[in-house]
Every structure is written in C-alpha cells, then in structure tokens.
Structure 1
Amino acid sequence: MKSVITLSLLVAVLALSAPAAHADGNAAAGMKKATSCFACHGKDGQSIAPNYPRLAGQYQNYMEQALHEYKSGQRKNAIMKGMAAQLSEQDIKDVTAYFSSLPSKLSTLKYHIQGAKEMGASN
C-alpha cells in the first residue's frame, strides 16, 4: 500500500512539474515559427491592413480552433488553408501562444464598427 501511495505522489509531482510548453505552447518558439504570418498579420500581431485580423492578444484557444478549421477546410480561405496545412499540432500551439502573449491595441470597439461614428459615437 505504501508503494502505491508513493507512486501516486511521484506521478502527481511529475505531472505538476512538466513544462507548460507542450500543453499551452511556447511563445518564444512560436515567434520563430510565425515568420510567414508576419507578412499579413505583422510581427506585433497588429496586421498590415484592415482586411487581415489582428492577432495580438487574441484568445489562444480561439486561434487554435481557427487554424484547425482552416487546415480541415471547415473555414474557407485558400491562403490560410495553405498556411495551416504546414503546421503541426505543436506549431499551432506555439504560434498561437506567441500571438496571444502580445499586447492588444484594441481596448474598445470605437471606430472599429462600421458606421459607429455616424451613429453618434463620441470621440
């Protein structure tokens, strides 16, 4: 019985001390893997044009889901399908960890909703 308890404690300690890089992704590795993303989404995740989503500060699990959906074809975008097809599961976790770790410049939807200014939005 004592050996079962000792083994259980050892397993618990190992599980708790395992690096989070595999569970949540590694942002430093993600920065290196995301270089092809920078052309449209920017190195800082703020995008180079309004038609490309800002990735900085986005929820990591949302971006992971989106990349899986592009990869499977559930989301339709030929460019993103090709980009996502090249990514392993660990690549997806690392790249999304990188972009989610960046500070977002969106603190409000002011001027980001079409017609908001015309509808009486204050400055």
Structure 2
Amino acid sequence: MNRVLTLLSVGAVLAFASTQLLANGNAENGKQKAATCFACHGTDGNSVDPQYPRLAGQYNLYLQRVLHEYKNGDRDNPIMKGMVATLSDQDIEDVSAYFSGLPSKLDTLQGHIGGDK
C-alpha cells in the first residue's frame, strides 16, 4: 500500500511539474511581442469593446492553447489566424505569460455572454 501511495505521489508531482514547465514564458518579452494585440484587447488586456475578449488574468495554459488553435486552424478566425501565423511556440508562451499575469477587470459575466443585454 505504501508503494502505491509513493507512486501516486511521484506521479502527481511529475504532472504538476510538467504543467508548470508548459506554462513557462517571459512576461516582459511577451509584453513586447503582444504590441499588435493591444489595438483590440487593450494594453492591459481588458478590452472595452465587447466583441474582443478580455485576456488579462486568463489561465496561461488556456491562452497558449487558444493561440495554438488559431494558428493550426482548429479555431476559425481569419483575423486571429493572421495575427498568430508568425508566432513561435516561445512567442506564444511569452504572450500568454504577459496577459495571464495582468489583473482582470472582469468581475461579473453580466453583459459578457452572447445574448446578454
């Protein structure tokens, strides 16, 4: 039984560590690389236009996944596909680190869900 618990503990530590490794990125570099994002998403990642998502405070790995999905075509948005086309994996990690580290101004979903008034 102790061996099973030890193996489970080691597995949990490895899973956590690999998630942290995937989330790495340099936020300062990301701020420079995200300059083109600011026009729609705001310099602080809190877009005031409801057609553009607020990126500030989003989960780092979520932002990475979404950017990869735009890049590989799993998400179909011609504007975003063009924006991410030249981003490397490191660029995506850096931009995600920047936006995920910003404070969100989203305190309620009211008016931020399709169909809300």
Q: TM-score range by the shorter chain?
A: 0.7 to 0.9
Distance 1:70 1:101, change over 3 A: same
**Which residue is 1:34 aligned to?**
34
Deviation (angstroms), 1:107 = 2.1
Separation (CA, whole Å) in 1 of partners of 2:65 and 2:22: 17
Tell me the number of residue pairs that the alignment of Structure 1 and Structure 2 aligns: 98
Alignment of 1:86-105 (within 5 A): 86-105=86-105
**Which residue is 2:66 aligned to?**
66
Larger radius of gyration: 1
**Which residue is 2:76 aligned to?**
76
Separation (CA, whole Å) in 1 of partners of 2:86 and 2:115: 38
Alignment of 1:5-44 (within 5 A): 24-44=24-44
Deviation (angstroms), 1:47 = 1.2
Deviation (angstroms), 1:116 = 6.2
| Contact 1:22-1:90 at 8 Å conserved across structures | no
CA RMSD of aligned residues (A): 2.1
| Contact 1:30-1:98 at 8 Å conserved across structures | yes
Deviation (angstroms), 1:112 = 3.2
Query: Which protein is richer in helix relative to its size?
Result: 2
Structure 1 runs (4+) greater than 3 angstroms displaced? 20-23, 110-117
**Which residue is 2:108 aligned to?**
108
Deviation (angstroms), 1:114 = 5.8
- Percent identity, aligned pairs only, is 63
Deviation (angstroms), 1:24 = 0.8
Deviation (angstroms), 1:105 = 0.8
| Contact 1:55-1:99 at 8 Å conserved across structures | yes
Unpaired runs of at least 5, structure 2: 1-19
| Contact 2:50-2:112 at 8 Å conserved across structures | no
